[in-house]
Each structure stands twice: as C-alpha cells, then as structure tokens.
Amino acid sequence: MTSSSESIQFSNSDKEDSFEQPLIKKAVKEIDKEEPGQIKMEIECDNLTQNQKVQQVQQNNQFYEKAKNYENGQLLQQEKDILTAKDYYNQQQMNTFTGRKISRLYYLRNFQNWVKAVLINEYSTAVRQNFTDKRNLLNVFELGCGKGGDMQKWSKAGTGLWFGIDISSESLKEAERRHKTQKEDRKKQIQKIYLMETKADSDSTLFRSRLPQDVYFDFVSMQFMANLLFSSEQAVENMFENITCRLTNQGIVLMTITDANVIVKKMREFSVKDTDGNYIYSKNQYCSLKFESLQFPKNKPFGQQYLFYLEESVGIKEGNQIKYVPEYLIELQAFEEKAKEYNLEIVENLNFIDFFEKYKQKHSDLLKIMVKPPSDDWKMPMDQWEIAHLYRVVILRHLKGQAQSKIRRHPHLNELPDCALELENE
C-alpha cells in the first residue's frame, strides 16, 4: 500500500477500551414507544451470536444517544447544531454556473474537480486499453452521485451506462435535468443513465434486489461521500458488499475521502475547547471541525463521529451559528483490512497534496483548463490549500467477480430505458 501518512494514534486508556460493558448498561432502559425522546430496548442475549449482540447493542446505543438529546419530545440545544446528511443535501441550494464562478472557494472546487477528472481519465484509459473490442463503452456505478456533477467527466471518458444512486431526491432530480441538457447540447454523451434514491450502506440483499438484473460495472465511483458512511462496522460491511456485488473482476473503485490522519493531527495541535467541552477547530475561515473527544479507542475503528462544516458544501452557517453535518473518521488500516475481506486491493492511497505532486506535470493542461490559475507561478490561497489537505484519494481493484469480456454494455442493454429516475416515494 502506498500511504503518505501514519495511521491514527489510538489511545489505550481503560475507559475507551472497555467497549461492551457501558454500552449494555446504557441500553437496558425500557420504554414502549419507538419515537425520538423515548427509548425502546430489549436484548434477547441468549439466542443471539456474539456478533449479533454487539451489533444490537450498538444500534440500541445509537438510539439511546439520539433519544437522550430529547426531553418531552423537544430537541435539546445540544443537537440543534447538527443536520442529517439527507436533510442537508435535500435542502442545499442548487448552485448555478454563475454561482460557481463567484464562489469564495473557487480554486478549491476547481482543484477538487481536477482531482476527480485525473482519476477518471487515468483509470478509464487503463481499463479501456484492456477491452478486446476498443469500441466498447464503460459501465459506471456512482454511489452518492449528488447532482451528477461528474457525469460529463465520465461521458468524456467513453461511458455508455452511468448508474447513480443518492439519498437526496432533490439532487437526483437535478442530475436528471443536467443529463437532459447535456444531451441536447453535446455530441459525446452517456447513452443511458439510471438514477435511484437509496442508501449506499443499506442492507445488501435489499440493495441488490433493486439493481437491474445482470448488469455489471467496470467502475464504482464514490466521491466525497464514504466518510458519511463509516458510522458502524455493519454500515461499512454493507457499503463494501454493495460496492462489490456488481463490480467486474479487475473492476476499479475510485474514492475521494477525508483524511483521518490529517484531521486528527490538526485537531490535536490546534483545536480549542468550547463551553460544552467539545474540541473545535476554527482556524480556517471556510471550515470548522468539532469532536466530542480526541481519544480514539484501538478496538473501535468504525463509528468515530465528528461534525464538519465546509462553506458551500457541507453544513450551514447563519451568522456565528454553524449547523454541522456528522461524518466519520476512516481509519486506514481498518479500511484496508475490511476491503481485503471483500476482495479489494489498494492500488493508490494518497493525500490530495501528494496526488497533486504526482500528477501535476502529466495533467498540467487539464490543470490549466480546470483550476484556471491566474499565472504560472500562482499558488492556491493558503486556507483553500489547507482544506485540500484534508482529503485523500483511495483506489481499489476488485480481484473477483464477472469477467470484463462477459459483461453486457450499450447497445446490448435494450431492457434499460435511456433515462430513468426511481424515487422512493413515487
């Protein structure tokens, strides 16, 4: 594995290591109605396996943690500064093209798009070189596709089928609208798109049953979203199961994630405590991070929550009041081990800054077109560069699955409509 930084330094404190006992204690309160503010809890310990018990306790504990923020059904102050990802992304204002140009984070956004374009360009070229019939187009599966901002990049890479899922119905509607506009405007165009409102970390049997039968993908793309899914080991296993269930043999997973090592280091060096005892990082004018604790038990690599705000992208700021979105640290060693269980090997694993160093010469033309630096010796403003440093690229290769030569592609996917949008409530 190529890794530019060390694994998170987990603490060994007794308090943090005694995992099961306090959770079970918390979970034994019993109330009959299952509503926020009220706790329904019963563990049938005897007929569950140890694994099931731990999962059940975790779920119940999450419910307990949520419930304890309510009093007589009223949300307490403590949770008012948190937005769920679904609510936030559904509410998020659509950014018009003009909006993007005047963005205060103009260069950062352009840089993030350059990273994604380089990834798509590099890996799609490599995958297509192995096709026996060079006219073949790619099948691409994007999890957390949002408004379909990467559809055009995939279209340029020679994609025939692009399948996007997201939890935000509003974003999916916008993706559909963009596809239609692009189809009217351009010659090179994805032939078929399929959009579905669903969770990338939902139960894998359910997830699989909703996918069109017998359709496999050369790529799974997950951009700036896996850090929203690491809420528990079960959620991570669901995610890997869902990623791999239709990924071809030698298929590629392209991920951009937050860099837990950089975040934790920054928090430990520069955060300050607020009046509630939370650790806050707010040295950067565009973003803020909040942690309840900076101790991370070795035996709990999943479910390490932090709250994140990034101007225009994650959360909302009203005056001095920030509404954060919960995200989770991705501990790289646990990530790699879990990936291995799903027959995924790591091909590249680089912080954005190292990625930039590696590809800036090779993709300098794209850099000029996409990032639009005002001069040759220009450097990105420090606060935006610091945010770029919070992210990393992780590429995985699937070592199992359907042979690429056997998968059906456009135009042999007659049963799929040219453009379909499947929303949960419709």
Binding site for ligand SAM (CB under 6 A): 85, 89, 143-146, 149, 165-168, 171, 199-201, 223-225, 228-229
The partner residues of 321 in beta bridges, in order of sequence, read 318
Residue 314 is classified by DSSP as: B
107 token code pair: 């260069």
Written as one letter, the residue type at 207 is: F
Shortest distance in whole angstroms from residue 181 CB to ligand SAM:
17
Minimum distance between the CB of residue 95 and ligand SAM, rounded to whole angstroms? 10
Closest distance of CB 145 from ligand SAM, Å: 6
Smallest distance, Å, CB 274 to ligand SAM? 25
Measure CA 272 to chain center.
27
By CB atoms closer than 10 A (0-12, 13-18, 19+), residue 337 is: exposed
What's the min distance (Å) between Cβ of 405 and ligand SAM?
29
Angle between helices 50-67 and 233-244 (to 10 degrees): 110
Give the start-end residues of each E strand in 25-107: 70-71, 74-75
- 167/329 with CB nearer ligand SAM: 167
Q: Which is nearer to ligand SAM, 145 or 367 (CB)?
A: 145
Nearer to ligand SAM, 3 or 168 (CB): 168
27/140 with CB nearer ligand SAM? 140
Helix 364-371 to helix 106-129 angle, to the nearest 10 degrees? 140
> Residue 407 in 3-state DSSP?
coil
- Are the CB atoms for 254 and 221 separated by under 8 Å? yes
Which of 136/313 has CB closer to ligand SAM?
A: 313
Q: What is the closest distance, in whole angstroms, from the C-beta atom of residue 228 to ligand SAM in the complex? A: 4
State both tokens at 289: 């991070």
- Single-letter amino acid code for the residue at 185: D
Nearer to ligand SAM, 308 or 356 (CB): 308
